[in-house]
Every structure is written in C-alpha cells, then in structure tokens.
Structure 1
Amino acid sequence: MGKTIRWGILGAANFAKTSMAPAIHAAKGAKLVALATSSREKAEGFQAFCPELDVMTDYDALLARDDIDAVYIPLPNHLHVPWAIKAMKAGKHVLVEKPVAMAAEEIDELIALRDDTGLLCAEAYMIVHHPQWARAKEILSGGRLGELAHVDTFFSYNNPEMGNIRNRPETGGGSIRDIGVYTYGSTRWATGQEPREITHTNIRYENDVDVFAEVNANFESFSYHAITSMRINISQSITFYGDAGVLRMDAPFNAELFGPTQMHLIDAKGRETVEYFGDVNQYVLQVENFCAAVVSGQEAHADYPWTLENARGTQSMIDRIFTTDKR
C-alpha cells in the first residue's frame, strides 16, 4: 500500500462542498483531514460526509499543521496566488482552483517556487483527467480527422445573482475566467497548438464583469470560435472539424453532470461512431493522479496531466483576449 496524502482545504466554497471535498474523501491514496473556514456553519455540509473532519477558523494555522501534506484552495480567484504561495512556503503541495491567477505573469512565481521546493503545485483542471479527453487527444494526434481546419466550442450557464463572486469584478469574476479556461484550455491541450492571434472579440459586460464573450482566433493550423456566457441557459459542447472527419463531444466539461459523456466521430463517408464513457468521476481521478505524482516525487511532476505551464498558456490567451477587446 502506497503512502496516503493527507489533505486540508482552505475555504468552505460550495463547489468544494459538493465536488472536490467529496472527491478527496473518496480518492484512493488520499485522506481529508481538516477544513479552514471563517464560518463553522459552512462546515456542516462537509462533516455530513466526513464526520471526522477537523474544522478550523484560521487558514494559517491549518498550513502550520504537520499532519497536512497537501491543500486544496477553492477561494475567490484573486486570492489563489497569494494563498498558493503561503501554502508552498509552509511546505504543502497545492491544488488550486481555476483560474490559478488573474494574469499569466503571476504564475511565474508559483513555477519558480514549485521548482525550488520540489513541491507539486497545479491548477484544478479536472477535465484532462477524464478518459474522454485522453481519447480525444489520441484521435486528433492520430490523424483520424485528417487536417484539422476548425474548432468550435460553447459553454454557458445562467447566474444572474449579482452578489455571487462570479458577478463581482473585485473577486475576479466573469465568464472568461470562470469557464473560458475550459473552452480555451481544452482546445490547446487536445490539439497541442497555441493561438497565433485573437482575430475578433464580442464581449458584453454587466457590473464590469464579462457575462457573454465570443472569441475568434487563429491557431497554428486551424481557425477557432468560442462562446462563454453566464446569462444563457446551461449548455456545453466542443466540435473538431477536419478534412477527413468530425469529432463532437456532448458533455466535454461537466461530464455526466450536464448529460451523457458521449463522443461522436464522423468519418469521411459520413459514418458515425459513438463512444460512451460511463459515469466516471473526473474529480476523484484528478485527486488520485495528484496524490500519485506527489508520492512519485519531483521528477514525476512534469508528467502530471496539467502543469502550471499548461495553466499559464491558457491564462496568456485570456490576457490577450482582454487586451484585444475594445469596449
């Protein structure tokens, strides 16, 4: 039996309660030990599935504990980098929610600290741990679609609650930072290509936060179109168009939660093959892969599916989108 990685969580975010904390609790090789939160009432939902969870009200005190090996950080976006730095300086491995930073250059300090300490620090980018994305990358790299010509992706949900952190500029809200990381990052990861230029943006703001963003770009060998929105009913898809085939993913980002995790592959003769991946928990897989990388040591960190360098590439694209936008 391998070493068990003992986890602490900084902040009782709802997403942590519903998705990531249960995943840490369920993952092989992981043990959920402590939660730091400003409100003990928020901890009740966590203790419902993990009764032995130790609840604290001091983030720094959690980081000082000797019985914590790794921390998960689901705090508001603008707090990700400062607390990730504190955690690594306290000797903890770090899994920090997306987007890991508010600007690409902020990630450089995390990369340097990761390399200096030998600790694993990564963005919580769960989709690359799901087998459907490994399969998509295999299809694309194997030439099943021929020459890739265009990628089109869509991700939306409706969140009109203005008090929510996603609707507040001071906490780094907006659809681009919240879900654009998926539409942009998944394309980069699956194709292995980077955007050469952002050719067009159509971004609508409310309360100085983007609630709708249409982005066109040219990658190295294909054109790209993406829409993200926090004011459209929940929907998501991504389609890769090649000269010899088409690949469409029905639930690329919230596998099974949005709908069946199906992949449609249409060949040059119009024949369609559907692959279904079943009820796979990508959050549990993410935690298990993280723990395995920690146990394997620093040399294995470069093989972790989503490195800080991967996250920096997506953040760089986001930075360019905001720079290109002429509102």
Structure 2
Amino acid sequence: MKPVRWGVISTADIGVKKVIPAMLRGKGMEIAAIASRDLGRAQEAAQKLGIPQAYGSYEALLADPSIEAVYNPLPNHLHVPVTLQALAAGKHVLCEKPIALDAPEANQLTRAAAKTNKLVAEAFMVRFHPQWQRARELVRSGTLGEVRLVSSVFTYFLDDPTNVRNQAEIGGGGLYDIGCYPIVIARYLFGAEPFRVTAAMDRDPTFKTDRLTSAIAEFPGGRHLVFGCATQLVPRQHVQILGTKARAEVMIPFNAPPGQTTIIRIDDGSDLSGANIKTETIPACDQYTLQGEVFSAAIRGGPPLEFNLQDAVCNMRVIDAMFRAAAGGTWQTV
C-alpha cells in the first residue's frame, strides 16, 4: 500500500509529543508536513521530528496538493471550523476529541464529509488498544455475566490559566477534555446508546470551566455508566466493568504507556481481599500508531472505519445532555 501523506495542523503538545512520533513509527502512512501560525515554531517542530515540510499557516498546508489527510489537534473551538476547511480542500481528517462543542456543530461535519466524499473520524485512540478490545470481548463472551455497571474516574491537576483546558470560551473544562472518555468507553462496551443522563458540576470561580463533573448515564436493559472527572484533583485513572459473575478492571485505561504491556484484572468477588484476582497481560503497543494505521488503511480502500463520524455525533449528544442536566438539576434525554 502506498503510504498516505499526512499533514498536521498546529504544533500542539499532544501532536508533537504523542501522536506524531507514534504515526512516524506506523505502517502505511508518512507525516509529510506540519503547519503553525508561527513559521518558526513549525520549522522547529519539523526539524525535531524529521518532517520534510513546514508551513507558516494552516491554509498553506491545506493548499498542498500532495497532502491527503490532516490530523487536527487544535483547541476544541477550532475542531469544526478547521476540519471544514480541510474537507473543502479535499483532505481526509482525523480530528481530536471532542470533535465539536455540541452535536449540531458536529453535524456540520457530517454534511460536509458526505458532500466531499472524505473520511472524518474522532481521535479516540483508546478503542484501538488491544486492552479495550479484550475488555469488550470479556463483556460479550459472558465471562463477567450480565454486565450492568461501568464505573470510572479520570482526574488530573491543572491550574494554569493560560492552558486551553482552563479557558471556558474555547471549550475548556473537564467534561469536554476527559469526561468524554468514560462516555465513549461505556458506549463501546455496551454496544448501545444511553437514553437519559444526569450530572452535577463544580465550576472554577475564575476559569468558569467545570473542574469537577460527576455523571450517570442510563442505557437500555438497566445498565449504567457512573463516572467522575476533574481537572483540579490528584491524577487518577480507573475503569471497572461489573457483571453478575465477575468484574474486570483496566489498570491504565486511557493513557496506556506506549511500548509497555498493560494489565486487566478479573475478579469473581469471592474474596474481598483480592486473593482470587486473575491477571491478563496485554502485549505492548502504541494506541496512537494503531489509530493512524487503521485510518490510513481506510483511506486506501481497506476495512471501513468501525467508528465513523456518526459515532462522534452520538458521543456529543451525550455530552450535550450532561451539560443540560448539570445546568437544570434534572435528568435529561439524550
């Protein structure tokens, strides 16, 4: 397969430090260009990462006819506008999460992608990691019994006012940044959409972003997602999947370290001290590499994307409902 030529919009940390190095190691793709509104920053990143071309504007990169696909890790409020620009320029787009600020905005991408016949996907790298594929297998196989509860916590501490995650006007806050992960994982494991949600939020008095969000999502069949996410608490990640026979715990659920094995623990609950826990070790990989390879293969006519743009719209609908629930203090229909 001829490698897909990728361009990266911006020198955002997640791209420069995580996604680009991972994609450079992948098969079927090459990072051919990077753009910044500051040419010097683009050139510095290109030199450091071994990227052949640097551009001093996003428009210049999008005008390059050799670029086939674009990775968009810009701040949240620019996900849709710049993705629309990329589609208009004839590029496929892998866009960071959340793909939009609300579902109606995300639907703009649905119409544009259909019109241009280009692929657009939300960059939830976790679903490409074998640990989550194994977790879903445990759910589907009945190993855990009837799975009725997914419980998750995802937190970090960040009080820098200049960081985009702490700027409410451009889509900062915990639910957008990390609360989206438990939502997408519960939808992935249950293979269904929640029909109603409720949520509570504590907002930073200065930033006005949600620094602590707790939420419940109710799925058909009496199944629940319960999670908390926070931007000003001690760093912690966990996901537990509870069934009628056993539970599974994914030990590093979201930021699985590249190149290292990961662990899933399975416990039948017969000894509360954990003496009967069984451990499964998942081979080392880089979930960002796998994500890029799958998207690139789809561009070349390989297997279609399992999670398309409509999936991203569905995730945004859940987030929208949680914001409404927190504002109104009620259950909200998704």
TM-score > 0.5, shorter chain as reference: yes
Secondary structure of the residue aligned to 2:204 is strand
Q: Which residue of 2 aligns with 1:178?
A: 177
Shift of 1:283: 0.3
Q: Map Cα deviations across residues 226-266 of structure 1 (whole Å, 9 max, x no partner).
A: 01011112110110111111011111100126x96211112
Which deviates the most, 269-278 or 144-153? 269-278
Q: Which residue of 2 aligns with 1:222?
A: 223
Q: What is the TM-score with the length of structure 1 in the denominator?
A: 0.93
Which deviates the most, 21-30 or 119-128? 21-30
Q: Distance in 1 between matches of 2:156 and 2:199?
A: 23
Q: Distance in 1 between matches of 2:79 and 2:39?
A: 22
Secondary structure of the residue aligned to 2:32 is strand
Which deviates the most, 36-45 or 267-276? 267-276
Q: Distance in 1 between matches of 2:261 and 2:200?
A: 31
Q: Map Cα deviations across residues 111-144 of structure 1 (whole Å, 9 max, x no partner).
A: 2222232211111110001111111111111111
Q: Distance in 1 between matches of 2:190 and 2:173?
A: 26
Q: Which residue of 2 aligns with 1:74?
A: 73
Letter in 2 for 1:48: K
Q: Distance in 2 between matches of 1:288 and 1:158?
A: 32
Q: Which residue of 2 aligns with 1:208?
A: 208
Letter in 2 for 1:170: E
Letter in 2 for 1:296: G
1:295 equivalent to 2:300? Answer yes
Query: Is this contact kept in 2: 1:175–1:212, CA < 8 A?
Result: yes
Q: Which residue of 2 aligns with 1:282?
A: 287
Secondary structure of the residue aligned to 2:300 is helix
1:1-327 aligned within 5 A: 2-43=1-42, 44-50=44-50, 52-206=51-205, 207-220=207-220, 221-256=222-257, 261-267=262-268, 269=270, 271-296=276-301, 300-301=303-304, 304-326=305-327
Shift of 1:200: 4.0
Shift of 1:223: 2.4
Unmatched runs of 5 consecutive residues or more in structure 2: 329-334
Shift of 1:310: 1.5
Query: Is this contact kept in 2: 1:251–1:260, CA < 8 A?
Result: no
Shift of 1:17: 0.5
Q: Distance in 2 between matches of 1:284 and 1:13?
A: 17
Secondary structure of the residue aligned to 2:296 is helix
Q: Distance in 2 between matches of 1:41 and 1:63?
A: 18
Q: Distance in 1 between matches of 2:146 and 2:112?
A: 40
Query: Is this contact kept in 1: 2:266–2:278, CA < 8 A?
Result: yes
Secondary structure of the residue aligned to 1:105 is helix
Shift of 1:205: 3.3
Secondary structure of the residue aligned to 2:240 is strand
Q: Distance in 1 between matches of 2:104 and 2:163?
A: 27
Query: Is this contact kept in 2: 1:154–1:228, CA < 8 A?
Result: yes
Query: Is this contact kept in 2: 1:201–1:216, CA < 8 A?
Result: no
Query: Is this contact kept in 2: 1:128–1:305, CA < 8 A?
Result: no
Q: Percent of counterpart pairs with the same letter?
A: 34
Number of residue pairs aligned between Structure 1 and Structure 2: 321
Secondary structure of the residue aligned to 2:49 is coil
Q: What is the TM-score with the length of structure 2 in the denominator?
A: 0.91
Shift of 1:269: 4.8
Q: Distance in 2 between matches of 1:187 and 1:16?
A: 26
Q: Map Cα deviations across residues 16-50 of structure 1 (whole Å, 9 max, x no partner).
A: 11011112222111111111102234332442131
Query: Is this contact kept in 2: 1:8–1:32, CA < 8 A?
Result: yes
Q: What is the Cα-based RMSD across aligned positions, in Å?
A: 1.9
Q: Distance in 2 between matches of 1:139 and 1:126?
A: 20
